[in-house]
């Protein structure tokens, strides 16, 4: 099986490639070729026995998607794009990376024709929903995004569903909650503080909390997120039906509850490294996001997330800190 990952240099793309390389199989089939694409060179997963092709290019640039798809990968994990605050602050960049890149990819698949119909797993976002919200967002809640990022993701969801309906590909879109705790340096996501208030104190560094502690959100770890993507690749169209864009499960809690989970895992000294500094832009963006999801359909389809935020903190310690808390 030939598997392709776009956005493979990003945190989720990198962890997905590592997992695919370790397991060497997907949906019961051995992976023989792994194509990794991003605007910077993606790392090669250690221990993978098959062939690895790395493509360093802008997916939305002319000819790039056609070149990638010409090898006819059976499964495409499409995660390339820019994050929420970056898409909000730079309109042209957001539409270029998030919408144009997806359109180029799907068009390249369509143009191959000849019965080629790959599985395309798209990383969408719960930012496709917009206020006013009920207490719990049901699976069939309307798409009325209040940010450019959410708008771009919603447009891609519709295109994915239409190309699947027409038989050009077999698509599934995953509306991810906040992925937390993200390792590595901070990115430009408006949701970045959800990870920073855990990651930085655990690394012995001070960090800033730009919103109130009563902000409520839903989270899933990078480990669970990679699990979502891999599980989605094995779902048939008969199981999914025509509603191929699905809201993923997660742990719903307030920022204050996140901080208390950090305290239980790492103690008062870690919590003392969090400084409050309100940021109006981040507060405005976060205020337009949904908070709690029913996600009954995802759970019925076998998607599994964590059961507590304490578990999410411990997963970060296990997966990214070598299982040890800093002194």
Q: What is the pLDDT of residues 158-168, one digit of tens each?
A: 999 999 999 99
Whether the Cβ atoms of residue 106 and residue 160 lie closer than 8 Å to each other: yes
Q: Where are the domains of the chain?
A: 2-177+220-247
Report the chain's mean pLDDT, rounded to a whole number. 94
Closest-CA residue to 208 (of 273, 267, 262): 273
Averaged pLDDT for residues 119-147:
93
CA 117 to chain centre: 23
> Residue 85: its pLDDT value, please?
82
Averaged pLDDT for residues 175-179:
94
98 CB neighbour count, 10 Å cutoff:
25
pLDDT in tens, 22-42: 999 999 999 999 999 999 999
> Residue 59: its pLDDT value, please?
97
Whether pLDDT at 181 is above 70: yes
273 CB neighbour count, 10 Å cutoff:
17
pLDDT in tens, 202-217: 999 999 999 999 999 9
Averaged pLDDT for residues 244-270:
97
Q: Which CATH architecture has domain 2-177+220-247?
A: 3-Layer(aba) Sandwich (3.40)
Report the catalytic residues: 149
> Residue 324: its pLDDT value, please?
85
**Sorting pLDDT into bands at 50, 70 and 90, what band is 224?**
very high
Whether the Cβ atoms of residue 229 and residue 26 lie closer than 8 Å to each other: no
Averaged pLDDT for residues 75-86:
92
pLDDT in tens, 262-303: 999 999 999 999 999 999 988 888 887 788 999 999 999 999
Instruction: Choose the weakest-confidence range: 12-21, 98-107, 286-295, 296-305.
Output: 286-295
User: Rounded to the nearest 5°, which phi and psi values hold at 2?
Assistant: -105, 120
> Residue 137: its pLDDT value, please?
94
> Residue 185: its pLDDT value, please?
81
Partnered with residue 3 across adjacent β-strands are 34, 75
> Residue 259: its pLDDT value, please?
98
Averaged pLDDT for residues 318-324:
92
Element (H, E) at 272: none
Averaged pLDDT for residues 48-59:
96
Whether pLDDT at 75 is above 90: yes
> Residue 313: its pLDDT value, please?
98
43: CB partners within 8 A, 6+ apart: 9, 14, 17
> Residue 327: its pLDDT value, please?
66
């Amino acid at each position: 099986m030939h598997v392709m990952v776009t956005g493979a240099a990003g945190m989720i793309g990198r962890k997905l490639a590592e997992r695919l390389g370790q397991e060497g199989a997907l949906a019961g089939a051995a992976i023989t070729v792994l194509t990794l694409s991003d605007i910077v060179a993606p790392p090669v997963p250690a221990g993978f026995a098959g062939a690895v092709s790395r493509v360093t290019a802008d997916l939305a640039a002319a000819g790039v998607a056609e070149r990638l798809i010409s090898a006819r990968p059976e499964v495409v994990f499409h995660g390339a794009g820019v994050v929420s605050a970056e898409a909000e602050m730079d309109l042209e960049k957001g539409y270029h990376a998030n919408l144009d890149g997806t359109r180029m990819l799907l068009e390249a698949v369509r143009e191959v024709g000849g019965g080629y119909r790959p599985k395309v797993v798209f990383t969408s976002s719960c930012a496709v929903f917009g206020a006013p919200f009920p207490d719990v967002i049901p699976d069939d809640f309307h798409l009325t995004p209040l940010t450019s990022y959410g708008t771009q993701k919603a447009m891609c969801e519709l295109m994915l569903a239409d190309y699947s309906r027409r038989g050009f590909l077999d698509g599934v879109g995953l509306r991810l909650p906040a992925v937390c705790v993200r390792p590595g340096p901070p990115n430009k996501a408006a949701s970045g503080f959800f990870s920073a208030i855990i990651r930085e104190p655990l690394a012995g560094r001070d960090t800033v909390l730009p919103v109130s502690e009563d902000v409520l959100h839903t989270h899933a770890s990078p480990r669970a997120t990679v699990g979502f993507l891999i599980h989605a690749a094995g779902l048939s169209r008969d199981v999914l039906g025509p509603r191929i864009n699905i809201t993923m499960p997660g742990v719903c809690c307030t920022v204050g509850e996140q901080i208390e989970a950090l305290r239980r895992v790492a103690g008062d000294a870690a919590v003392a490294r969090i400084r409050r500094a309100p940021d109006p832009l981040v507060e405005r963006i976060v205020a337009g996001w949904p908070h709690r999801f029913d996600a009954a359909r995802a759970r019925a389809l076998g998607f599994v997330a964590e059961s507590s935020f304490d578990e999410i903190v411990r997963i970060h310690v296990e997966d990214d800190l070598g299982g040890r808390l800093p002194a």
